[in-house]
């Protein structure tokens, strides 16, 4: 199988990175999507994959940078002849999110206009997602894959659940953190995995800055912490992703970032620091993700 990193950025619109999206493609062609932030669908097509061919989507949590492209994903699948409802796995609230999107929801005018075409009446189920809100444990299983999940620590759980994932297929295991600060559940999910794809949103100084100023969530994982997680879980390889725009040179991002980050520290050079800090604890194979990176495992 192989993994395509469709989006490797975070909460901002960023010309250099789409928001979160990871596509897994099995040797038999089966495809599974993890998160669907803005830019995910465009990059999926760029990677020669159709939204209509994705068997199941797992939304790790309902932060906008993990779900913005979900309407586009679903409507595109409908237009591109998906034969049946897409399976959507996600936390508590996923059913309400989907219920308010299409028929009688935010895209009702689009639904009514498009479903007036006879061709689109033939696969209305494609725009009626089969939503399954998950609990810790086995989340999904078919002939080819199993997906297990557990809570991770990112948003207070009484506000919103956040999940980390362990995906197994073809005798291999891939773990994906979603968004989280370091937690034992994620280490357990990643135990001896062939590949851990883990968020690395901010360098240490940026998380500290956000903790001090109270801007946004600081419940993320720093590079030093990520190195320890990968070491403690005994993973065979590591991909860091969900980079929080700290390396951006874009003028707009640098201007708005002054409310969020220590702007004087921003720049591409920080990526070298990220590697150095992950390496303090972890010495296995390591890649920093970029959009459309393909990983064969």
- Using CB under 5 A as the criterion, which residues of the chain lie in contact with Zn ion when the complex forms? 63, 65, 179
DSSP letter at 265? G
Q: How far is the CB of 200 from Zn ion (least distance, A)?
A: 11
Q: How far is the CB of 195 from Zn ion (least distance, A)?
A: 20
Distances (CA, A) of 54 to 50, 109, 194, 201, 287: 7, 25, 23, 27, 25
Question: Residues 6 or more apart from 72 whose CB is under 8 A from it?
Answer: 41, 51
Q: Whose Cβ is closer to Zn ion: residue 82's or residue 151's?
A: 151
Q: Whose Cβ is closer to Zn ion: residue 216's or residue 262's?
A: 216
DSSP letter at 127? G
Helix 223-233 to helix 270-278 angle (10° resolution) is 30
Q: How far is the CB of 29 from Zn ion (least distance, A)?
A: 29
Q: Are 189 and 195 in contact (CB under 8 A)?
A: no
Q: Whose Cβ is closer to Zn ion: residue 52's or residue 207's?
A: 207
Let me know the angle formed at the C-alpha of 100 by 95 and 103, rounded to the nearest 5 degrees: 110
Q: How far is the CB of 99 from Zn ion (least distance, A)?
A: 22
Q: Are 200 and 242 in contact (CB under 8 A)?
A: yes
Q: How far is the CB of 267 from Zn ion (least distance, A)?
A: 21
Q: How far is the CB of 281 from Zn ion (least distance, A)?
A: 23
Q: Are 166 and 149 in contact (CB under 8 A)?
A: yes
Q: Whose Cβ is closer to Zn ion: residue 55's or residue 153's?
A: 153
Residues 173 and 234: their CA atoms lie apart, in Å, by 12
Q: Whose Cβ is closer to Zn ion: residue 3's or residue 126's?
A: 3
Phi and psi torsions of 232, nearest 5°:
-65, -35
Q: Whose Cβ is closer to Zn ion: residue 179's or residue 277's?
A: 179
């Amino acid at each position: 199988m192989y993994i395509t990193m469709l989006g490797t950025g975070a909460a901002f619109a960023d010309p250099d990175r789409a928001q979160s999206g990871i596509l897994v493609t099995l040797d038999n062609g089966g495809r599974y999507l993890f998160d669907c932030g803005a830019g995910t669908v465009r990059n999926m097509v760029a990677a020669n994959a159709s939204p209509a061919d994705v068997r199941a989507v797992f939304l790790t949590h309902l932060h906008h940078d993990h779900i913005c492209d979900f309407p586009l994903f679903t409507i595109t699948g409908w237009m591109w002849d998906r034969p049946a409802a897409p399976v959507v796995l996600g936390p508590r609230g996923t059913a309400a999110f989907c219920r308010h999107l299409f028929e009688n929801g935010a895209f009702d005018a689009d639904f009514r206009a498009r479903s007036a075409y006879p061709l689109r009446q033939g696969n209305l189920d494609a725009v009626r997602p089969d939503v399954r809100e998950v609990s810790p444990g086995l989340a999904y299983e078919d002939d080819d894959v199993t997906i297990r999940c557990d809570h991770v620590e990112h948003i207070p759980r009484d506000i919103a659940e956040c999940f980390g994932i362990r995906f197994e297929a073809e005798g291999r295991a891939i773990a994906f953190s979603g968004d989280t600060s370091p937690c034992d559940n994620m280490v357990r999910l990643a135990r001896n995995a062939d590949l851990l794809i883990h968020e690395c949103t901010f360098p240490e100084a940026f998380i500290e800055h956000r903790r001090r100023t109270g801007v946004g969530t600081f419940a993320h994982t720093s590079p030093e912490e990520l190195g320890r997680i990968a070491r403690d879980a005994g993973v065979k390889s590591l991909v860091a992703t969900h980079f929080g725009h700290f390396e951006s040179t874009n003028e707009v991002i640098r201007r708005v970032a002054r409310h969020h980050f220590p702007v004087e520290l921003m720049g591409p050079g920080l990526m070298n620091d990220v590697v150095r800090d992950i390496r303090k604890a972890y010495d296995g194979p390591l890649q920093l993700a970029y959009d459309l990176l393909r990983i064969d495992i």
